[in-house]
Structure 1
Amino acid sequence: MFRRRTMLTVAVLAGLVVAAPVGRADPAAPTLPVFTPRPSAWTPDYTVFPYNLWQTRVTPQQVVAQRESCQWINAQYDQLMAGVHGFQRFLGDHDDDWSAVGVSEAGDVVAANLDQSAAFLDPRAHTLFIVNYPDQSEYSPLFHGDSIYRLWYQLTRISDKITRRVPSGQINANVATANVYGNVIRDSGVCAGA
């Protein structure tokens, strides 16, 4: 007969408390709330060159995709990345030992948050890119639409590396790149008022 363990492990990651049964087999649930976009009067910034020239190529779907992505960035990006940074430090403080108490469980929660966030951004990030004919290159006709796409991609890479239980240093390259795109988006003001 199988006996379920009731012992709990706890890890604190940048204000995020993770409690999970030892030996947990179920996938971790995200701790970030499911994000729901809302209507808004926000419009893209068409004042920056060359985006002012590409305005005629922008579809209503792309405007909605960027507005909703910006709303997510304004609401959850900082909290998500605080959890990622906290976990990365936590893993490093345990000498990258995924079997240390609480490490694996905390990683699962952070990966679940990343997966939930990436799933929200995925269709929107892909809507922001268009194919340029005749050379088939991809670009976004919206200011920092490409940065949203690249941020989405880095979130998927961070989750993948956490899921594969790689050392914190290997996760760092994608964390640093996600920070670059997140900061560029925030510093540009493109999401202000979304």
Structure 2
Amino acid sequence: MFAATLSAVGGSAAASPFDPPVPPLPAVTVTPSDWAPKFPIPYDETRRDVTDADINAQREMCQWFTSTYDELMGQVEGFGFNLLAANNDWTIGQIQAQADAVVVNVKDTVAWLAPRALALTQTQDFAGDVYFPLYQGEAFYRLWQHLSNVSVGIEARNTAWIYGPSVQRTKHWGSKINRSHVCE
């Protein structure tokens, strides 16, 4: 079961603290596309609040998501399995080098996503609650937010953080984006 789970997330069947560090992720190059936002119910009602900046930000984040998200999360989870195989001992094998490489990739991703996530419009409803008028805008924003916490946890050598709340929340929002087909 362990090997099947590891293979499903993109790791090797044998977790090893002696694996070499992951390579840097390739830079995301935004290209023109015919992608358009979706406005399912009830987002058809908030369409008037969606700006061109929202649309451009989500278009670019979708290009990142479809090209890089799975690989990045595979790296995070692969590191987690390797750390587990090392009994959470950061001094065994290549664990620290693996952690450093994953942190660089997560931080680069967070830096790339930041201006796009922050460009998304947040509006208040009649009760003063904040919402994102763009379909799955909140999912991208929350994914960016929790992903930024992932690197903090790894850098702090917080072994519980590898499978802790931020990784799980990042996976939750990534799954929500994937299941919505917003990037298709």
Query: Which TM class, normalised by the smaller chain length?
Result: 0.7 to 0.9
Which residues of 2 match residues 29-108 of structure 1 at below 5 A?
Answer: 31-46=24-39, 48-108=40-100
Gaps of 5+ in 2: 1-9, 13-18
CA RMSD of aligned residues (A): 1.9
d(CA) in 2 for partners of 1:60, 1:134 = 24
| Higher strand proportion | 1
What TM-score, normalized to structure 2?
0.85
Q: Which residue of 1 aligns with 2:21?
A: 18
Look up the match of 2:3: none
Q: Residue 65 of structure 1: SS of its match in structure 2?
A: helix
- Contact residue 154 and residue 161 of structure 2 kept, 8 A: no
Matched positions, count: 168
Q: 1:134, CA displacement in angstroms?
A: 6.8
Identity %: 34
Q: What is the TM-score when the length of structure 1 is the normalising length?
A: 0.80
Amino acid at match of 2:78: G
Q: Could you say which residue in structure 1 is the equivalent of 2:162?
A: 171
The runs of at least 4 consecutive aligned structure 1 residues that moved more than 4 Å come to 133-136
Unaligned runs of 5+ in 1: 1-12, 20-29
1:139 and 2:131 matched? yes
Do the aligned residues in 2 keep the contact of 1:129 with 1:140 (CA within 8 Å)?
Answer: yes
One-letter amino acid of the structure 2 residue matched with residue 101 of structure 1: G
**Residues in 2 aligned to 1:178 and 1:184: alpha-carbon distance in whole angstroms:** 10
Deviations 1:69-128 (A, max 9, x none): 011000000000000010011111111111112101100000110011111111111111
